[in-house]
Amino acid sequence: MTAPVAMTARPHGAGHPAPVLLHVQDLHAAYGDSRVLSGVALTVRAGEAVTLLGRNGMGKTTTIRSVLGLVARVDGVVMFDGVSILGRPTHLIARAGIGLVPEGRQIFPNLTVAENLRVCATAGAWTLARVYGLFPRLAERRTNMGGQLSGGEQQMLAIGRALMTNPKLLILDEATEGLAPLIRQEIWTCLMALKAAGQAILVVDKNVAALMRFADRHVMLEKGRVVWQGSTDELRADQYLTARYLGV
């Protein structure tokens, strides 16, 4: 068992770990009578990039949706920035500082790029100009409707929209799914830059090689339970893990 994690912010220089942003423990979730999560635990600290790994249907999206208050039947502990958010409405959870890039992007097809970006914006370091700086392609297409964009541009828009909420924690669910290799690379480059700037990130993706280049720690789910967690070095050192739990 891991030691309990301190929930309060403290100076994190030499020897002090960064403060915990997201702390999930003993999370259970179900859709109707069908139990999907059975005691998931997960921690993301400030500045960390953490992955949620596992085959299709293992509960990655449900874990994320549970954190965001989007699953009706949930139980357990979900703390964000030292405050319990379990059972709180999604818009308040978002306002507390979690920006979600959902599976399937879910941008607004009948709003322009600029409108999509402004719709959930809050005051902070992320502005339209800064998002356009990160994704020049979105600047070129700012007056186009969301539905007119390519898949890659829609994904950039979904990331930009989440950043416009100035999140303390950015969560991405399959953000490179179905994209051409060059666009994928562009997304990874962007995520690397965000991480280098200190953004905390929780990411679900199928590209394990890219995740190992990008993330600090990994949490492996199987059938709604955490079956392994560890650092990138530990994951890389144990081929059995990816073969057993991811089939790669």
For the chain, state the CA radius of gyration: 18
Binding residue for ligand ADP (CB under 6 A) from 51, 62, 155, 242?
62
DSSP string of 164-180, one letter each residue: TT--SEEEEESTTTT--
Strand order in the sheet with 225-231: 98-101, 169-173, 200-204, 49-53, 217-222, 225-231
Among 8, 13, 14, 56, binds ligand ADP (CB under 6 A): 56
Residue 46 or residue 215: which is nearer to ligand ADP going by CB?
A: 215
Binding to Mg ion (CB under 5 A) within 48-77 occurs at 60-61
Instruction: Select the binding partner of residue 43 from ligand ADP, Mg ion, none (C-beta < 5 to 8 A, by kind).
Output: none
Q: Which two tokens stand for residue 40?
A: 């998931």
**Alpha-carbon span 176 to 172, nearest angstrom:** 9
3-state DSSP call for residue 204? strand
SS3 call for 149: coil
- The correct pick among 6, 26, 31, 106 for binding ligand ADP (CB under 6 A) is 31
Q: Is 43 in the site for Mg ion (CB under 5 A)?
A: no
User: Which of these segments, 55-63, 78-86, 145-153, 177-185, binds ligand ADP (CB under 6 A)?
Assistant: 55-63
- Indicate whether 110 belongs to the interface with ligand ADP (CB under 6 A): no
57 binds ligand ADP (CB under 6 A): yes
Q: What does 97 bind: ligand ADP, Mg ion, none (CB cut-off 5 to 8 Å by kind)?
A: none
From the CB of 74, what's the least distance to ligand ADP, in Å? 12
Q: How many residues bind Mg ion (CB under 5 A)?
A: 2
End-to-end CA distance of the chain: 28
Residue 155 interacts, among Mg ion, ligand ADP, none and using kind-specific CB cut-offs from 5 to 8 Å, with none
CB 172 within 8 A of CB 101: yes
Q: Which residues bind Mg ion (CB under 5 A)?
A: 60-61
